[in-house]
Structure 1
């Protein structure tokens, strides 16, 4: 499980201006984050706009990341949804040869009970040949996977190895950290509270901002994990404005604007998302210039 301690980044899917998948830009981004010192790659999560990708495009993204990574870092693949049978089918039909673990989001829109969430992940865990990281993100799913449900799954299924906790609730995060089985990973899914989560016993982060500024963000995480609170806090506060900015107009519009500034990819997103505004791009430009000065 140590391979998933530290900084993972939820990779975007870069598009050309015509909204086709830009594999060259994706290669550039993967190289950028690896050279920036992050610890693992997360492919086809929410930030990847996976909801608007075809199955063929998803496979193209996987193949491009695997080829560019060249076995340098562990890969986590997002497979989840609100149709349990479809998720199980995808798990059993996808080639997972180059995948180290799966990230599976709690069912969205349906608003299942805690028992429904448990039964969903029981089916997923039973079907999976790979370790699973649960993903709780109530702001997108409209239902909160409570600590009791996460811990029930963690204690009953050996291949459920962690949770990406993105409720933005430090009390909930601390309840998970305090009561989790030994070696169970409680991973921040919220860039802004990554530092306090690590300092109270969390395992790291699956980050959005970390792919824009991987050197600085992954160093903050390493310092926090080492207990170097003063230096970690200084870096956190230095990066803090950018975290606000990238989510100001929705994800991944903000982080794609960062990649445009860094000349790694266009800022293009697919409808129903729209590109970051000129105003937001200017804020990000000013921040990036200050960070690099």
Structure 2
């Protein structure tokens, strides 16, 4: 899956003041990624506020991204949940012809055992017509998909091709990299440890900060993959403060403020999420100007 090596970005869903989906802004954001070196786009992930979108709005977002992308970059679609049957049904019925892979999060809220997680993804692997990227994010799911479970899945199912690893544990990531089968990709899901993970043998990142600063972050990832360590770390430290800021009061409130400063969309979220406060907005504004100038 060479097309998933490098920098992917988890696209936001921009909203208008009336809280409807802003397709014009979404088109601009997609073009901004294409023009600034991003390698692939992730549609309807957590950052897209997918949990607050209706079925019709999800279709609108998908169709808008497909049209704006115009076959320029590979697309990954978020298809996950804590109802295994529902995820399987979506994979069987949805037209996935425009997508390179699906990104599927480990079940949240239910807190399944490791065997439950394995059986969930077994069912998904048997149903999916396209490759699958596992997504481990214990901070949101309340359960950690252990390396032993990931490796079991990677070895048992050829269409499970990668994991977005966002446990925030570099040692866990290194265990995955050390023991993974050939061709399986370990992708960072944590912007701050992206470069260390790449240098340890990771394949890149699915990023939030990367969509705000696509030129800088994709260059850092590329330099890391080329083992140009000093140059890569120069960029890492240039954007490190911004990474902390965009997650300080929740995602995607921070990155939407970045886009607002860049003039690409309004900083509007749907409840229960709310905007960053004025203090953080000011700090983000100053930091954006430093990075892009």
Quote the Cα distance in structure 1 between the aligned partners of 2:170 and 2:64: 36
Question: Per-residue displacement from partner, 1:206-263 (whole Å, max 9, x unpaired)?
Answer: 0000000000000000000000000001100010000000000000000000010001
In structure 2, what is the equivalent of residue 206 of structure 1? 206
Larger mean CA deviation between 87-96 and 137-146 belongs to: 87-96
Larger mean CA deviation between 283-292 and 97-106 belongs to: 283-292
Secondary structure at 1:41's aligned position in 2?
strand
In structure 1, what is the equivalent of residue 187 of structure 2? 187
Quote the Cα distance in structure 2 between the aligned partners of 1:189 and 1:292: 23
Secondary structure at 2:241's aligned position in 1?
helix
Residues 267 and 276 in structure 1, CA contact (< 8 A), matched pair in contact too: no
Shift of 1:288: 1.2
In structure 2, what is the equivalent of residue 107 of structure 1? 107
User: What's the TM-score, normalizing by structure 2?
Assistant: 0.99
In structure 1, what is the equivalent of residue 21 of structure 2? 21
Quote the Cα distance in structure 1 between the aligned partners of 2:25 and 2:93: 28
In structure 2, what is the equivalent of residue 141 of structure 1? 141
In structure 1, what is the equivalent of residue 74 of structure 2? 74
Quote the Cα distance in structure 2 between the aligned partners of 1:269 and 1:225: 35
In structure 2, what is the equivalent of residue 132 of structure 1? 132
Shift of 1:97: 1.3
Structure 1 position 260 matched with structure 2 position 260: yes
Question: Per-residue displacement from partner, 1:46-101 (whole Å, max 9, x unpaired)?
Answer: 00000010111000000000000000000000000000000001111111111110
In structure 2, what is the equivalent of residue 160 of structure 1? 160
Structure 1 residue ranges without an equivalent (≥5): none
In structure 2, what is the equivalent of residue 86 of structure 1? 86
Structure 2 counterparts to residues 228-247 of structure 1, below 5 A: 228-247=228-247
In structure 2, what is the equivalent of residue 56 of structure 1? 56
Structure 2 residue ranges without an equivalent (≥5): none
Structure 2 counterparts to residues 273-284 of structure 1, below 5 A: 273-284=273-284
Shift of 1:292: 2.8
Secondary structure at 1:99's aligned position in 2?
coil
In structure 2, what is the equivalent of residue 11 of structure 1? 11
Quote the Cα distance in structure 1 between the aligned partners of 2:285 and 2:257: 9
Quote the Cα distance in structure 1 between the aligned partners of 2:157 and 2:82: 20
Secondary structure at 1:196's aligned position in 2?
helix
In structure 1, what is the equivalent of residue 288 of structure 2? 288
Question: Per-residue displacement from partner, 1:169-211 (whole Å, max 9, x unpaired)?
Answer: 0000000000000110000000000000000000000000000
- Runs of 4+ off more than 4 Å: none
For the aligned residues, what is the CA RMSD? 0.5
